[in-house]
Amino acid sequence: MKTLSIKDIAVKANVSITTVSFIINGKAKEKSISEAVIKKVEKIIEESGYKPNQIARSLRTGNSNIIGLIVEDISNSFFAKIARLIEDKAYKRGYKIIYSSTENNVEKAQELINMFKSRKVDAYIISPVKGLEEDIRMLINDNKPVILFDRNLRDVQANYVGANHFSASYQSIESFIAQGKRNIALVTTDIDVQQITERFEGYKKALLDYGLTYREELVLKIHFNQNEASTIDEIKMLFNSEKIDAVLFATNYLAISGLKVLKSIKKKIGAELSVIAYDDHEAFELHTPGISTVQQPLEEIAETVIKLLLSQLSSKSILPNQEVIIPATLIIRN
């Protein structure tokens, strides 16, 4: 069974292709097609189950009603949840989402952008990698709406939606200090994006503001792409070699590795050791005792991203870039 084309419909209805096209695209009235013809054609379309070929349509119009979403790793629960929320919201507005993971790898990210470009996606939502600046600038030059989220790039002017990482991190450390903690460690990654450096800056600033000294040996920077076993080893070393009474994990997957370490070395979380994890995860709520976390407002981030994107898509002129910083909240559990 060959798939039907607009031509088949035109033949069946005994009208021109043009007429069918106008009807499909809701331009019938405006193009003064009679009510009778509209009805007839619509009936035939309905009965035959004809669906326009989106590829042909995209080729002609240059757009696709598709939004490309590029994240670091779709299997990370933070991104998976954001992706799902964005997908839902976009879907309701008639846009489809296609997504892919960069694995924090510039080349892969560039390839993805190229793939999306050659598929003529209408807009991009990107959680960027350092090194992608030029590619993103080209998209913007091309007049494609681009929204960065989760992490910003200093050297590129674009729309951005993200949490206030500095202040969330600062508050976390403040809360440790309020509990009387003095030996506060930070386990973070070595990826050089604003989101991560801000968390680091917040940590540092809070220490200094409260008269504590910043000690390099209490900060562990895990190499991004390494396997979990090595991460666990490094964290284990940190805990074995330093006296630590509080620790902030800068990402949820680091916190998970960290909790595994604590479990294995039988270090109890509680009075003698406080833990805060960045980005919530089911495991933290269920953990005994509950693990305090910095919660990013996923729903709000997704909604803001989509809103920004749609306003760009629907406006003829180029809108000024917006940076939306949404507060993250510290959830204390125990």
Query: 310 near 290, Cβ under 8 Å?
Result: no
Interface region with a second copy, contact rule CB under 8 A, candidates 56-64, 157-165, 166-174, 202-210 = 56-64
Out of 11, 59, 208, 237, the only residue in the binding site for DNA (CB under 7 A) is 59
60 contributes a contact to DNA by CB under 7 A:
yes
Which residue's CB is nearer to DNA, number 56 or number 332? 56
H or E element, residue 184: strand 184-189
Out of 12, 40, 120, 267, the only residue in the binding site for a second copy (CB under 8 A) is 120
Task: Decide: residue 183, CB within 10 A, 0-12 exposed, 13-18 middle, 19+ buried.
Answer: middle
Residue 240: CB atoms within 10 A of its CB come to 11
256 contributes a contact to a second copy by CB under 8 A:
yes
- Report in angstroms how near the CB of residue 214 gets to a second copy at its nearest: 30
330 contributes a contact to DNA by CB under 7 A:
no
Angle, alpha carbons 54-55-61 (nearest 5°): 85
- Tell me the CA distances in angstroms from 68 to 276, 310, 330, one per residue in order: 33, 13, 31
Residue 270: CB atoms within 10 A of its CB come to 10
Distance, in Å, from the CA atom of 276 to the CA atom of 171, rounded to the nearest integer, reads: 11
- Report in angstroms how near the CB of residue 263 gets to a second copy at its nearest: 7
Using CB under 7 A, count the residues that bind DNA.
Answer: 29
Residue written as tokens 């080349």? 107
Residue written as tokens 């809070």? 206
Interface region with a second copy, contact rule CB under 8 A, candidates 38-46, 129-137, 280-288, 322-330 = 280-288
Q: How many CA atoms lie within 13 A of 316 on its CB side?
A: 0
Out of 16, 226, 264, 315, the only residue in the binding site for DNA (CB under 7 A) is 16
Tokens representing 238? 């940190």
Which residue's CB is nearer to DNA, number 53 or number 311? 53
**Which does residue 46 touch among a second copy, DNA, none (CB within 5 to 8 A, set by kind)?**
none
- Report in angstroms how near the CB of residue 142 gets to DNA at its nearest: 13
319 contributes a contact to a second copy by CB under 8 A:
no
Q: At what angle do helices 6-13 and 35-48 cross, to 10 degrees?
A: 130
Which residue's CB is nearer to a second copy, number 29 or number 119? 119
267 contributes a contact to a second copy by CB under 8 A:
no
281 contributes a contact to a second copy by CB under 8 A:
yes
Secondary structure of 105-153 in HEC code, one letter for each residue: CHHHHHHHHHHHHHCCCCEEEECCCCCCHHHHHHHHHCCCCEEEECCCC
Distance, in Å, from the CA atom of 42 to the CA atom of 136, rounded to the nearest integer, reads: 42
Which residue's CB is nearer to DNA, number 56 or number 208? 56
Which residues, listed in sequence order, are joined to residue 159 by a DSSP beta bridge? 147
Out of 259, 275, 294, 328, the only residue in the binding site for a second copy (CB under 8 A) is 259
Out of 26, 32, 141, 217, the only residue in the binding site for a second copy (CB under 8 A) is 141
5 contributes a contact to DNA by CB under 7 A:
yes
Q: Catalog residues that contact DNA under the rule CB under 7 A.
A: 3-7, 15-19, 21-22, 24-25, 31-34, 36-37, 50, 52-53, 56-57, 59-62
Q: Catalog residues that contact a second copy under the rule CB under 8 A.
A: 1, 3, 51-56, 58-59, 64, 73-77, 80-81, 83-84, 87, 96-101, 114-115, 117-120, 141-142, 256, 259-260, 263, 281-283, 285-288
